[in-house]
Structure 1
Amino acid sequence: MSTQPAARHDAHSVGAGSDAATAERLAALADRLYAAWAQPAVSRRDELLADCCVPAVTYANPLGEAAGILEFADLIGEFLAPYPGHRPVRTSGVDVHHRRARWEWGLRNSIGQLVLAGLDVVTFTERPRLETITTFFGPPPRPVYTFGAAPI
């Protein structure tokens, strides 16, 4: 019996104003974005971001925000400095409609353990290139229910 390497097959959700080919292109853009995040060399990070983002890209996460590729590249360096060897990866397919998309991601340490998960919500140009990126860390807060008894 021969062994074959694992192959990734993403399922994408495509809504109005988009198509499967756009979802595939956005998945590739997301993967390039995370390649930039994993790049320790600032000049190479700039190149990778220029390949997937518009020059005036805006980025925001709960800890900071940036405008433009150079600022974004610097913010990535600041964010990952305390986490050497950590690499972000896309962990879901892409959900896309009307030039907007979202996907889940995870930050993995040097041995592949997930240490942080989140969601990216983006807008993109027709070309497509990422125009705005909004990152959320962790799952959304869940509602808390309290139950009590009323006196009879």
Structure 2
Amino acid sequence: MNDIVTTYLHTWNSTDQQARTTLLTEHWAPEATYTDPLAEAAGREAIGATIGAVHEQFPGFVFTQVGEPDNHHRQVRFQWGLGPAGAEPVIIGFDVLVTDEQGRIETVLGFLDKVPG
């Protein structure tokens, strides 16, 4: 399941729309859903648009893995950070990913742990 976390973060870090679409097509289920306190998206296209909006809001920021993932069955939870490359994350959260039978990301439930005031 560590590979799916890495792929997930690559998807979120992809600033090139075509590369992001390729990652979504290869590693996310067509009916995938994403929900966090600030966004709700259903389907690869809507998730891609959500990721694009984050890049517009936080240009130059990257997602990094914080700590080690915890997984069982077809689900994994992990903490992530968002901030300038090579710097301490400004935002920290954790996500729970659930995969489908083919190992593609099907459901993402996100939570925010640290958000600047």
Equivalent residue for 1:130, pick from 102, 105, 113: 105
Task: Tell me, yes or no, if the aligned pair for 1:31 and 1:89 is still in contact at 8 Å.
Answer: no
Structure 2, gaps ≥5 residues long: none
Q: How does 1:111-126 map to 2 (within 5 A)?
A: 111-126=86-101
Equivalent residue for 1:88, pick from 63, 72, 82: 63
Q: What is the Cα deviation at residue 27 of structure 1?
A: 1.3
Structure 1, gaps ≥5 residues long: 1-25, 140-152
* Partner residue in 2 for 1:48: 23
Q: How far apart, CA to CA, are the structure 1 residues paired with 2:75 and 2:21?
A: 23
What is the Cα-based RMSD across aligned positions, in Å? 1.5
Say which SS state the counterpart of residue 70 (structure 1) adopts.
Answer: helix
Say which SS state the counterpart of residue 126 (structure 1) adopts.
Answer: coil
Q: How far apart, CA to CA, are the structure 2 residues paired with 1:52 and 1:116?
A: 25
Inter-CA distance 130–116: structure 2 relative to 1 (3 Å threshold): same
The one-letter amino acid paired with 1:92 is: G
Q: What is the Cα deviation at residue 110 of structure 1?
A: 3.2
Q: What is the Cα deviation at residue 37 of structure 1?
A: 1.2
Task: Point out the more displaced range, 58-67 or 27-36.
Answer: 27-36
**Which is strand-richer, 1 or 2?**
2
Question: What's the TM-score once normalised by structure 1's chain length?
Answer: 0.69
**2:13 counterpart of 1:38:** yes
Q: How far apart, CA to CA, are the structure 2 residues paired with 1:98 and 1:36?
A: 22
Q: What is the Cα deviation at residue 46 of structure 1?
A: 1.0
The one-letter amino acid paired with 1:36 is: T
The one-letter amino acid paired with 2:36 is: N
Residues 25-70 of structure 1 deviation map (CA, whole Å, 9 limit, x = unaligned): x211111111121111212111112222111110011111111111
How many residues align structurally? 114
Larger Rg, first or second structure (1 or 2): 1
Runs of 4+, deviation exceeding 3 Å? none
The share of aligned pairs that are identical, in percent, is 30
